[in-house]
Amino acid sequence: MIRLPAYRRFISRITSAASLSAVVLLVLVACSSSNDKGGDTAAIEGVPLEFQRVSEVWELLTNEQIDGSDLDAVTISEGAIRGMLLALGDPYAGFLNREQLSLEQENIKGFFGGIGAEVGVRNGAMTILAPMPDTPAEAAGVKAGDVILEVNGESIRGLTLLEVVHLIRGEKGTKVTLLLRHLTNSETVLVEIERDIIDLESVTLLMQVGRIGHLRLSGFTGTTNDELKEALERFERSKGLGIVLDLRNNPGGLVSSVVDVTSQFIESGLVLYQEDAKGNRRDWKVKSGGKALDIPMVVLVNGFSASASEVFTGAIIDSGRATVIGTKTFGKGSVTNLWRLDDGSGVNFTTARWFTPGGTLIEGQGLSPDVVLEPLDIDEDEDLHLDRAIEILEEELSAGVSTAERK
């Protein structure tokens, strides 16, 4: 019996609005005549007999294919792995070679060379979830909802999300060209963007008229909670009366970060729970010591509020902590793990799904806000929704609605 090596280390992360799909090179054998090689193939312990066909096809290719003597085993094996991941039907599954895995680890650390936009899969298309504030993507006019058609003049049809992301990334100062189709326009636009080192700063606070704080979270990173606490201190020094917490175009991030952030606003209970393939449940509980438990608040979301943003939104809705306003959220509520293989490459796939404290499945569903607004046209000012959120908050402040009464 041949034993497969035990698999290996993995890097656990939540993908934002990153998140991952796989497309594949399928190995096909076309023969003008039938040649049954026959014979027995050695069984591999723990692997279904059907997988013997993979080694059988490899043998056929190397012996009979017209260029079989020149085949590269690494290339063919990577194609076979991609095929396995495609067959899962998991939109976040993907394969990374050694170079790509190294770049992905840079992203996890919080810095990378790129354009400053989160990319995801929406309705089967590679879609910009959010251009990050003050980045090359935003400066170039890239918008949430843009569908990517080409990168550097090459069609991305048949590529995985991971592959598309790594085509877009690159060294600071180099340029990348994207062919995009805007969300509400069938015409395409060609955009050239100069890459830069992207700083993942994720919290901004602007005080509005009437001592209302516009608190915008653009992601959930390892530093978001500390940034949030600093923003809340500034809000307090400004003698603010209430907060509009803006999660529009927030693609998500780390589950540990969203638990910390949610715990600033909710006193007790669950933030979320997750279930894996075996039905094992893990509860993520609110941490004590929140700094904004009694601050009046309205939460603003849209169709590109995804992943960890939806976790936060679900906890707010189920706890009755605040009014949620906007459009239905994205519907990305799953855990993906990036597993490192022995040769330095890696595979990524979904291992669990998220539920709100009240048991609502996020994945593929999205969350409906308490107050549903009509989606904005591409040429409409997004501040129209912000203005409505401020109006609702001011109405609640005038009526003296407290957190306890809302619950």
Alpha carbons within 13 angstroms on the beta-carbon side of residue 156 total 26
What's residue 158's pLDDT?
82
Spot the catalytic one: 196, 257, 332, 334: 332
Which residues partner with 217 through β-bridges? 203
pLDDT digits (tens, 9 = 90+) for 201-249: 789 999 988 899 999 999 999 999 999 999 999 999 999 999 999 999 9
DSSP 8-state secondary structure symbol assigned to residue 44: B
Query: Catalytic one among 307, 319, 334, 345?
Result: 307
**Residue 69 appears among annotated catalytic residues:** no
The 10s digit of each residue's pLDDT in 136-188 is 999 999 988 899 999 999 999 988 787 888 899 888 899 999 999 988 777 89
Q: Domain map of the chain by residue range?
A: 111-199, 203-335+352-406
Residues 308 and 318: their CA atoms lie apart, in Å, by 15
Name residue 163's amino acid: E
312 by Cβ neighbours in 10 Å (0-12 / 13-18 / 19+) ranks as buried
Q: Is 332 a catalytic residue?
A: yes
Backbone dihedral angles phi then psi of residue 234, each to the nearest 5 degrees? -65, -40
Tokens coding 17: 């609005």
pLDDT at residue 57 above 80?
yes
- The CATH architecture assigned to 203-335+352-406 reads Alpha-Beta Complex (3.90)
DSSP state of 220: B
Residue from 318, 319, 334, 345 carrying the catalytic annotation:
318
Q: Does 407 participate in catalysis according to the annotation?
A: no
CA-nearest of 172, 150, 156 to 106 is 172
Cα angle 74, 80, 83; round to 5 = 145
The topology under which CATH files domain 111-199 is Pdz3 Domain (2.30.42)
How far apart are the C-alpha atoms of 223 and 209, rounded to whole Å?
A: 28
Q: Which of 52-56, 171-175, 196-200, 227-231 bottoms out in mean pLDDT, i.e. has the lowest?
A: 196-200
